[in-house]
Structure 1
Amino acid sequence: MYKIPAFFCLLLFMAGSVAAQRTISGKVVNASSQEPLPGSSVFISNTSFGTVTTKDGSFELSDIPPGKYDLIISSVGYETVVYSFTTDKLPTRIKVELQPKVRELANVTVEPSVEEGWDRWGEVFMTNFVGQTPNAKQCRIRNEKSIRFRYYKKSNRLVAYSDEPIILENKALGYIIKYQLEDFEVNYKTKVTYFAGYPLFEEIEKSRKGLQRRWQRSRDKAYYGSMMHFMRSVYSNTLADEGFEVRRMVRTPNLEKERVRKLYRPASMSGPSGTKKKINMISIGKAGITAVPQGTAVDTFRFVADSNDYYRSVLSQEDHIDTYGRHLLTADSIVIEQQGEYKAVFFEDYLYITYKHELEDPGYLLFHQEQRKPFYQRSHIWLQNRNAIAIDANGSYFPPQEVFSMSYWGWGEKIANLLPLDYKPYEEQDKRPLLKAVKP
């Protein structure tokens, strides 16, 4: 996700032995003193493969599934290092030099902020990070006091950070997630939430078979219709078989609403002598939209009923106009090339994705305050910077910060529903019939 800064010295050399073909090993040291850093966390992001360094700073991860991954190396008080690798280049051995973390000082920040703790912002963090799905009700953060917040009043945004991995216990899916939080921001002005980091999954130790079966069913429910499921379907070119319908969507500004909103707002206009006169009403007639200044002979002009109705109608519309394509897309129409085990995906504007094997969760309708029957799960995704992404058979995509989602995935793609990249559903070849849904 992040490029390794230039001052990180990452020395690579191939291991002499080829006995373990998919093994990555190495040593973690202090960049300045070259002293080993025992107890450093070394793990493959979004998987269950992880370890800690020994007394001499060494580590080893073996039997890594085929694919492209990010190896995360972190230690309290040091900057996180991300080493991207592919298993076709293994085995390999690396030396990682960690730099001390530079703390941001409040008195040198460009924008003034207020630093506060969990008591003030904990509920906001849980809503936007863990989510509001049914699984979220069975999640708790063990080290919540380690998470700190900065609120920037001028730009109306909230930022969260933690010096140690966030430990989240998910009893709904049976995982302990150690999440190395790199970014978290709630922008109240743009109504966009963004967080990024590196999760390590551990199975909750439970021997009861009934509990294991319940976790498997819950994991399958979280998987089917998810973005991971979608990306895997794109990679294998099985969108229709897996229950996905994909259309293009073009979003354009509602120019008429923008025009009416500007005229409707209190404004001023120049009088005969160049002075400003306050506008106190708007007239809509055959000549179009006219501003009527205060103090003129027409001050007593009254809106006709249809003019008022027109304003209310226009201002109640959405800020954008969405136009949907009539034809369904195949995976081949958005995959632009293949390079080895990876496929490059690119599309203009938005993709409108409908998953027809499951209906919307009632919690989604409650969140949006919609009183209707559940329909198919419908989501939108777009490429933030209009750059192509690379996907692999595991359903992972690079760079992850390029893909933004809204609608159903905007609600459901939170940590409470997160699954490791090496997850496989119980019935891999399950081809369930399409559900019948009533349009909302």
Structure 2
Amino acid sequence: MRTIFNPKKYLISICLLLLSTVVSAQFTITGKVINGADKKPVESATVFINNTSYGTKTDAQGNFIVQNVQTGQYDLIISVVGFKTQKTSVSVKANVTVPPIAISERKLELNEVRITKSRRVENKYLDMFKREILGSSKFGLSCRIINPKVIELSFDKATYKLTGYTSDFMQIENGLLGYTVKYLVEDFERDESGGTINYVGYVLFEEMKGTEEQQRQWYANRLEAYNGSSQHFFRSLLGNTINIPGEPGFFVMTMTRTVNPRRLPDSLIRANIRYYNNKRSGSARDSIDYWVRMLRVPRYIQVMDTTRLAAADIVQLTDQRGLYALKISNKNYLKNWKYIKIPGVSEKLEYNCDTCAYTNSLYITYIRRVPTQIVFKNKIGVFSSENNFTPTDEMEKMATVLTMNEKTFFDRNGMVANPFSLRTEGFWARQRIGDLLPVDYLPNTGFAKTAANSGK
């Protein structure tokens, strides 16, 4: 477990001044891939850094070199047909030589027998898989899977679960962002009854070649996809560019939540929706309307503190160079607000949360202009400058609620080292492969830089 320091805030400022210099440095990762069974070199294995455009192939001796790698914490992925995918964590601060990486042959597991080729699964499930992987944003909808036959799917009607993986890299053409994306899905599960989706995969980006006009459009689209993304947010923390009054950027606040007693459990709601969906009577329609309305009732009673947070309030240095920790206040802000709007109740009620169980999160949104003064008109039309407010419609469009399950670490590239430590809701949770940019993406580079240098 990493030790967390408690440095003075000026140390973060010093670190931020060094950030641009460190990020610009580029290094190499070298190593060798061998067969774990006979220790012989493995030729033509794909070696790449997950979520980047850094990739290569092994030579006849199993050797590889990945070049032009920025400083950061990465997952090095080794993939070759007939072998299990291997993942190795690599910390890059200088040129790195990793020990020989042994990979093992992939054998058919008993539980894989139930997986059915995608062409034998109903088209709606294949469409469902594509939608969940690519996303439903304009970038996701524009993506095209070139080789859908590598998708292996199975739907269990008893559990309402769609599961699957890909037998090889999916090749995805993202025409709006100008990338060919190679995506290897290790495990995919969509639980319709629980309303959850989980998948694990590895991504390699390749730049498309295009005309000057295409490059211009790709530049603009990439910037649009970047603005407000999680990568943008974590980089903004290290750049100390959040909550700047009057400027476009991230508006960040601390949120305190407790369970809303007016909302019934998800499992009960979804079970009743499924039950009444199969009924045809008039009373059944009334019942399903009730349960659908219940599904829309917010799960939580929540308030947000109006203290203007700075990066130093959210970021901690760690004992590992180039790695930072996220921190969230544990203060119960529900106690600051005597009358609270409870979702499902028309009026404000006095709510006592002195001993209630609560969770603190970060409310993060990207807006055109960060408020200079945090004073808002609430839903009943009264202006208030107290400790809580109701977000505006503009804020809600790109709002994310970020909750830590455990200590969260991130690097200079804006990538979270342990992503399962976080739970995301809202804007970031809706983003998929179609919205994703490589870790090495930097705004204001590429076409715009080239055009500026040529005098255009």
- Relative to the length of structure 2, the TM-score reads 0.68
**Matches for 1:225-240 after TM superposition, within 5 Å:** 225-240=228-243
Check if 1:115 corresponds to 2:136: no
Q: Verify the 8 A CA contact 1:77 1:163 in the aligned structure 2.
A: no
C-alpha displacement of 1:357: 2.4
Check if 1:170 corresponds to 2:174: yes
Q: Find 2:432's aligned residue among 408, 414, 428.
A: 414
Q: Measured at CA, do residues 419 and 74 of structure 1 come closer, stay the same or move farther in structure 2, by a change above 3 Å? A: same
| Alpha-carbon separation, structure 2, partners of 1:250 and 1:39 | 52
Q: Verify the 8 A CA contact 2:71 2:94 in the aligned structure 1.
A: no
Q: Find 2:195's aligned residue among 165, 171, 191.
A: 191
Q: Aligned residue for 2:366?
A: 355
Q: Verify the 8 A CA contact 2:73 2:417 in the aligned structure 1.
A: no
Structure 2, unaligned runs of 5 or more:
1-24, 273-289, 329-358, 371-391, 449-456
Check if 1:378 corresponds to 2:398: yes
Which AA in structure 2 matches 1:201?
F
Bigger shift: 137-146 or 349-358?
A: 349-358
Q: Aligned residue for 1:56?
A: 61
State percent identity of aligned pairs: 32
| Alpha-carbon separation, structure 2, partners of 1:398 and 1:48 | 18
C-alpha displacement of 1:418: 0.7
C-alpha displacement of 1:203: 0.6
Q: Aligned residue for 1:45?
A: 50
Q: Find 1:138's aligned residue among 139, 142, 162.
A: 142
Q: Aligned residue for 2:301?
A: 321
Q: Measured at CA, do residues 316 and 231 of structure 1 come closer, stay the same or move farther in structure 2, by a change above 3 Å? A: closer
| Alpha-carbon separation, structure 2, partners of 1:218 and 1:421 | 16
Q: Verify the 8 A CA contact 2:139 2:434 in the aligned structure 1.
A: yes
Q: Measured at CA, do residues 192 and 251 of structure 1 come closer, stay the same or move farther in structure 2, by a change above 3 Å? A: farther
- For residues 73-123 of structure 1, give each alpha carbon's deviation from its aligned partner in whole angstroms, at most 9, with x where no partner exists: 111121111111122253314311111124332499xxxx67351552221
- Relative to the length of structure 1, the TM-score reads 0.70
Structure 1, unaligned runs of 5 or more:
1-19, 267-309, 360-372, 431-440
| Alpha-carbon separation, structure 2, partners of 1:314 and 1:418 | 33
Q: Aligned residue for 2:100?
A: 95
- 1:336 counterpart SS class: strand
- 1:63 counterpart SS class: strand
How large is the RMSD of aligned CA atoms in angstroms?
3.3
More helix by share: 2
Which AA in structure 1 matches 2:255?
M
C-alpha displacement of 1:64: 1.6
| Alpha-carbon separation, structure 2, partners of 1:353 and 1:169 | 30
| Alpha-carbon separation, structure 2, partners of 1:167 and 1:221 | 23
Q: Aligned residue for 1:336?
A: 316
Q: Measured at CA, do residues 243 and 35 of structure 1 come closer, stay the same or move farther in structure 2, by a change above 3 Å? A: same
- For residues 368-427 of structure 1, give each alpha carbon's deviation from its aligned partner in whole angstroms, at most 9, with x where no partner exists: xxxxx962333233346x21121122111111232232222222x211111011111127
Q: Measured at CA, do residues 311 and 243 of structure 1 come closer, stay the same or move farther in structure 2, by a change above 3 Å? A: closer
| Alpha-carbon separation, structure 2, partners of 1:107 and 1:46 | 27
C-alpha displacement of 1:256: 4.1
Check if 1:425 corresponds to 2:420: no
**Matches for 1:268-287 after TM superposition, within 5 Å:** none
Which AA in structure 2 matches 1:80?
T
Q: Aligned residue for 1:15?
A: none
| Alpha-carbon separation, structure 1, partners of 2:39 and 2:193 | 46
C-alpha displacement of 1:315: 8.8
| Alpha-carbon separation, structure 2, partners of 1:51 and 1:335 | 35
Q: Verify the 8 A CA contact 1:350 1:380 in the aligned structure 2.
A: no
- 1:375 counterpart SS class: helix
Q: Aligned residue for 1:252?
A: 258
| Alpha-carbon separation, structure 2, partners of 1:401 and 1:313 | 31
Which AA in structure 1 matches 2:322?
E
Check if 1:204 corresponds to 2:204: no
- 1:322 counterpart SS class: strand
- 1:62 counterpart SS class: strand
| Alpha-carbon separation, structure 1, partners of 2:292 and 2:194 | 24
Aligned length: 344
